[in-house]
Amino acid sequence: MASSSLLLACAVAAAMVSAVSCGPPKVPPGPNITATYDEKWLEAKATWYGAAHGAGPKDNGGACGYKDVDKAPFLGMNSCGSDPIFKDGKGCGSCFEVKCSKPDACSDKPVMIHITDMNDEPIAAYHFDLSGLAFGAMAKEGKDEELRKCGIIDMQFRRVKCKYPADTKITFHIEKASNPNYLALLVKYVAGDGDVVGVDLKEKGSEEWKPLNESWGAVWRIDTPKPLKGPFSVRVTTEGGEKIVADDAIPDDWKADGVYKSNVQAK
């Protein structure tokens, strides 16, 4: 019967959750997930965090440094990734299809999620700690509440290219403490591979692309004794090697905590 199998599934889940809180059986992480799209489904554990219908963290942020993950283009369909998915921040912005077939409440239909945060409980080779909304989206219609009650489930996933509405462009957020000698740039809403492995900056009138260093999450930084002068062009390299140049994307009167939307997007 559906109800007793649900109870059983949830009892197993509850046992696992309590095992986690008092010293989990450590499972080694799987190989890093890279920008390959071979359609093969891999196994993972899924949990969820935050509000039942929410985007995960209370402040709608996360370890990638994105804000407002409850709003477009993520719309709360986001997740923490364990080490081989989050990759110290390199996995920020990557996209996955996720689905589940057990328990009964699962629809087995893939939904797309974005990596915006990290989790490091070693409970499985791959572990997605999904927003309440994203976890519930793997359920059959009207069964999301029932699925969330399970807390932890087996899930299948595969890397997919990120697709955004046409008006979503690569966007730069200049982090708060930035000044002409220290610029920290958060890169977000990259389509295609979604995640970024290199960011270079070019000052107006210069021919030199200066490589930025990875700082944390999706934030890249440059420290320089010679004050930087805008406007800046920014070159973004995705994990699959695509290079996108946003000419003069950041104006000369840029402000710390300013958000600058480019007019370019990855494929």
Ligand X SMILES: *[C@@H]1O[C@H](CO)[C@@H](O)[C@H](O)[C@H]1NC(C)=O
Contacts with ligand X by CB under 6 A lie at 32, 87-88, 90, 210, 212-213, 222-223
Reported as type and span, the H/E element at residue 237 is strand 232-238
DSSP 133-192: HHHHTTBPTT-HHHHHHH--EEEEEEEE-B---TT---EEEE-TT-BTTEEEEEEE---B
| Structural contact between residues 217 and 94, judged by C-beta atoms closer than 8 angstroms | no
**Least spacing, CB of residue 93 vs ligand X, in Å:** 14
- Alpha helix stretches (DSSP H) within the chain: 2-21, 83-86, 132-136, 144-150
**Least spacing, CB of residue 70 vs ligand X, in Å:** 27
**Least spacing, CB of residue 6 vs ligand X, in Å:** 37
How many CA within 13 A on the CB side of residue 99? Answer: 13
CA 163 and chain centroid, separation: 14
**Least spacing, CB of residue 222 vs ligand X, in Å:** 4
Closer CB to ligand X, residue 149 or residue 210?
Answer: 210
Closer CB to ligand X, residue 113 or residue 212?
Answer: 212
Q: How far apart are CA 239 and CA 236, in angstroms?
A: 10
Closer CB to ligand X, residue 90 or residue 148?
Answer: 90
**Least spacing, CB of residue 21 vs ligand X, in Å:** 27
Closer CB to ligand X, residue 32 or residue 206?
Answer: 32
Closer CB to ligand X, residue 11 or residue 256?
Answer: 256
Residue whose structure tokens are 């994307």: 249
Closer CB to ligand X, residue 145 or residue 223?
Answer: 223
**Least spacing, CB of residue 127 vs ligand X, in Å:** 15
CA 1 and chain centroid, separation: 37
